[in-house]
Amino acid sequence: MTGVMNGKVVLVTGAARGQGRAHVLRMAGEGADVIALDLCGQLPGVAYKSAEPTDLDETAELAREAGAHVRTAVVDVRDLAGMHAAVASAVVDLGRLDVVVANAGICIPRAWDQVTEQEFEDTMGVNVRGTWNTVMATAPHLVAAGGGSIVLMSSSAGLKAQPFMIPYTTSKFAVRGMAKGFAAELARYHIRVNSVHPTGVDTAMGSRAMLAQVAKASMADPRLRGMLVNMQPVDGITTEDVADAVLFLASDASKYVTAHELAVDAGVSEF
């Protein structure tokens, strides 16, 4: 560990486990204090198990063991007022905010004609509105701090069309565009905004239940399964692999990188 985040305060959504926990621990290990937010309740429509309050508690404890001051809040990213309140309270406690990782998201694989109106609405609500809410609740604090970095978690599905998950693909392309729009308007405040695009990651979202859902959806047109294959000979990547990329964008090592989409996708978006 090099201490590249010493003196910084980082906020992560979807922090209770999976990629969110990995981002929290990577930042804490590099010297940052952390604001960890999560719904800690039933996610809408998903096949995989949702996080619980004990998961967020464990993330916080692990970050404290790494030396970080930690503030947590149970909040739904779809609730803008709740996000404003949670962020403001934590920033008062920790003194500032420098980095935001908008990580919370869901995926509900379905063949196109099996997607329900509610599933589309839920996916857009969490992945798009939730990401927008996160930026709206946090960006004023970065302005007050004199600048910072915002990282929006998209997906390889935000770079390349992926079958059997039209709502998810739609949402992740939207997140990519959102990053570019915010990057343009926040640049004058010395705030950088970038998106990260992983391939499949070893998390609850990549669980056996989720893979079974993808396999079932793909029966609608097995020809298209090859679109989900990585160029590199790996089935997926780890949360730590993604956290390394996020750390780069959060740190001063990327001080002139903005409005960029960083693919951590084993080549799937080019294959």
Question: Would residue 198 count as lying in a domain?
Answer: yes
* Per-residue pLDDT, 1: 73
Question: Would residue 64 count as lying in a domain?
Answer: yes
* Per-residue pLDDT, 271: 82
* Per-residue pLDDT, 14: 98
Question: Would residue 91 count as lying in a domain?
Answer: yes
Burial class (CB in 10 A: 0-12, 13-18, 19+), 143: middle
Per-residue pLDDT band at 207 (split at 50, 70, 90): low
* Per-residue pLDDT, 205: 74
Question: Would residue 2 count as lying in a domain?
Answer: no
Q: How far apart are CA 138 and CA 122, in angstroms?
A: 23
In whole numbers, what is the pLDDT of the chain averaged over residues? 96
Question: Would residue 4 count as lying in a domain?
Answer: no
Which residue numbers are catalytic? 168
Q: How far apart are CA 134 and CA 99, in angstroms?
A: 12
**Quick check: 208 pLDDT over 70?**
no
**Quick check: 214 pLDDT over 70?**
yes
**Quick check: 96 pLDDT over 80?**
yes
Secondary structure in 3-state letters for 64-75: HHCCCCEEEEEC
Per-residue pLDDT band at 2 (split at 50, 70, 90): confident
Q: Are 59 and 21 in contact (CB under 8 A)?
A: yes
Q: What is the number of structural domains in the chain?
A: 1
- Domain residues for the domain of 195 are 9-270
Question: Would residue 3 count as lying in a domain?
Answer: no
* Per-residue pLDDT, 179: 99
Question: Would residue 129 count as lying in a domain?
Answer: yes
* Per-residue pLDDT, 67: 98
Per-residue pLDDT tens for 23-79? 999 999 999 999 999 999 999 999 899 999 999 999 999 999 999 999 999 999 999
Count of Cβ atoms closer than 10 Å to residue 157 Cβ: 27
Q: How far apart are CA 26 and CA 186, in angstroms?
A: 25
Q: What percent of the chain is predicted at pLDDT more than 90?
A: 89
Q: What percent of the chain is predicted at pLDDT more than 70?
A: 99
* Per-residue pLDDT, 222: 92
Q: What is the CATH number of the domain that holds 243?
A: 3.40.50.720
Bridge partners, residue 99, by sequence: 10, 149
More reliable by pLDDT, 49 or 261: 261
**Quick check: 105 pLDDT over 80?**
yes
* Per-residue pLDDT, 4: 97
Question: Would residue 58 count as lying in a domain?
Answer: yes
